[in-house]
Amino acid sequence: MQRLIEGVHKFRTDEFGNYRRLFRKLSQEGQKPHTLFITCSDSRVLAELITQSKPGDLFVVKNVGNIVPPASATGDTNSTAAAIEFAVENLRVSDIVICGHSQCGAISALLDETPVGDSTPHLRDWLKIAAPVLKTLKTDYAHLHIPAERETAAAEENVLFGLDNLHSYPCVQDKLADGTLQLHAWFFKIATAELFAFDPERQQFSPLVQEK
């Protein structure tokens, strides 16, 4: 906790001056982020850092395993679904990015490398949402036997699973239909800080390149 407190004071004394005008503008005009960025709660995945975004640019949702539940998911309060609806309907973002990553603990748990027990019922039920990913892994990736390769494949398929689920939200359907919203599937490799984007034509994740 002391490190957090020291960081707060460092920001106020050393960094805030660089952002004073921006924060004043955001306070007066409200937030107008251009992108909803859905990623994992993993402490190594920082949306603003890897995209070099400023305060106010991104509406960030972090959850265990960057899982996107379908709109039909019911039961306990679904904060991720609420954030999707708020970002699309209220903030009117133009883009939604789902960003998975390498060495994901949630994916490891999903693959039973780290079994989830009765002491974590919320985590257990949350991971069940991504159960279809396991079916895809068994049918389309039966040839993969190296654990690291299977984990990467599962993490990438989990991103695509989330992308499919985004289409189940009426608000997303409406914005896609009128051309005011675009969806993107990304994958972040922690060891090298590389970002990959899913290419629908090639049906694979390829290095993210700058558009000319």
Assign residue 133 the CATH number of its domain. 3.40.1050.10
Predicted pLDDT at 60? 98
8 lies in the same domain as 46: no
Identify the CA nearest to 152 among candidates 111, 199, 121, 209.
111
Which residues form the domain of 144?
31-201
* Whether residue 71 sits in one domain with residue 1: no
How many structural domains compose the chain? Answer: 2
Residues 145, 171: one domain? yes
Per-residue pLDDT of the chain (212 residues; tens, 9 = 90+): 999 999 999 999 998 999 999 999 999 999 999 999 999 999 999 999 999 999 999 999 999 999 999 998 766 668 999 999 999 999 999 999 999 999 999 999 999 856 677 888 889 889 999 999 999 999 999 998 899 999 999 999 999 999 999 999 999 999 999 999 999 999 999 999 999 999 999 999 999 987 65
Q: Tell me, yes or no, whether 206 lies in a domain.
A: no
Question: Do residue 21 and residue 104 come from a single domain?
Answer: no
How far apart are the C-alpha atoms of 198 and 210, rounded to whole Å?
Answer: 14
Residues 60 and 5 in one domain: no
- What is the pLDDT, as a whole number, of residue 73? 78
Q: What confidence score (pLDDT) does residue 76 get?
A: 60
Domain annotation covers residue 107: yes
Residues 62 and 133 in one domain: yes
Residues 73 and 158 in one domain: yes
Residues 23 and 46 in one domain: no
Residues 111 and 65 in one domain: yes
The answer to whether residue 209 is domain-embedded is no
Residue 119 falls within a domain, yes or no? yes
